[in-house]
Structure 1
Amino acid sequence: MVPLLPSIPLTTCPALLRAALQGGEEQRRRCCCSATLMPVVTDLEYDAFIMGQPLDSKQILVVCVTPPQPSGNTHTATRWDVLQDLFRTRNKNRAMPCTQCQMDSFRLVRYEMSAGMAGFGPENVLLQQRHGAAPGMFLMYLKGKLLFVGYIFTSDSCLVEDLQRQICRTRRDHRLGLSLPTDHKFRYHCGVRYDWL
């Protein structure tokens, strides 16, 4: 296997990390992720990717839980478009977004949750089993610590400002030494409806 460049840790790019864990793509040494589409994190590399944040990092890692393919539902499309536009804006003119985003205050990645149907691509159920996550939810980490699990967008609000406010609250909680247990399960509130799907 060709060694990675020392200045580019393997854990900065989920696609590189996945390839290394699968033992494939031996010649690949740099991020080839899109600057317009959020990189996808799968169950295979999820924990290594999260725990791979440098100990001196101040970056909030935002994991957006989505269905395998964004549906034709208007609410879903709007929310998906908002996130994609934000990602695209933050990574404009970057050839290697996973590497070049390391100094950003936050980073967006996507976790495609499997519909649980065998034979339809990789089974991504880790976040559902561990945290009770569902499409439309967000998880936020800093230095590998889980700081937030929940919904940010509601049925009548899907603004970038909502996400940015939650990132600020999450950063404040981290400064106060607050975090969630690694096996924290999200609890649904009665009467609250989130129709991401």
Structure 2
Amino acid sequence: MIRVLLVDDEALVREGLRMILEPAEGIEVVAEASDGSSAITAAVQHRPDVVLMDVRMAGMDGLTALKELRRSTYGPKVIMLTTFDLDDYVHTALRNGAAGFLLKDTSPRELADAVRTVADGSAMLTPKVTKRLIDAFAGLASEGASEARQRLSVLTDREGDVVRAVARGLSNAEIGRALVMGEGTVKAHVSRALAKLGLANRVQMALLVRDAGLT
């Protein structure tokens, strides 16, 4: 069972998140907190596996709390959740050790999937954020392009199609529609591609495609 701590300064938002996550298989909401400071206290007390935390909050904000949580001896994995997708938030969250960054327009199913993905040890960024992050490293004429292309050559044609779609920031559902395949098949292709490439998550995959100049 994945133990989750919800952190947001709006009680209605926390209640909405609880209503989404509690019925989800394998997920248990163990506590709530209304600011960064109380989140740190709750994390020590309840030992969650994943903290789902808002960026902007009164008192200690989410980014500061994230940094403190990751410094602690008990450091849960943290997903930052916000209505804003400003680049500074993304970069700071990743620098401070966030395992995921989602916008509040993420669908309920994607939210539950993100919690499972992060609990399993992988990173999870909402597709829109993934694309913007990749664009920040936009050196298409990379000296490592040849090496990156060689690494990608181990993929089948269909896996290559899926990997390039991931690099464009598409979700699994969007990839399925674009390539005319089921969402489960897309997930299987992504998993196989990650294993073949020796990568931990979709962000690393997308950056490899960018390095290869294939976006």
Greater percentage in helix: 2
Sort the TM-score into its range (normalised by shorter chain): 0.3 to 0.5
Higher RCO (CA-CA < 8 Å; seq separation 6+): 1
Which structure would you say has the larger Rg?
2
TM-score for both structures, normalised by structure 2: 0.33
Q: Normalization by structure 1: what TM-score?
A: 0.35
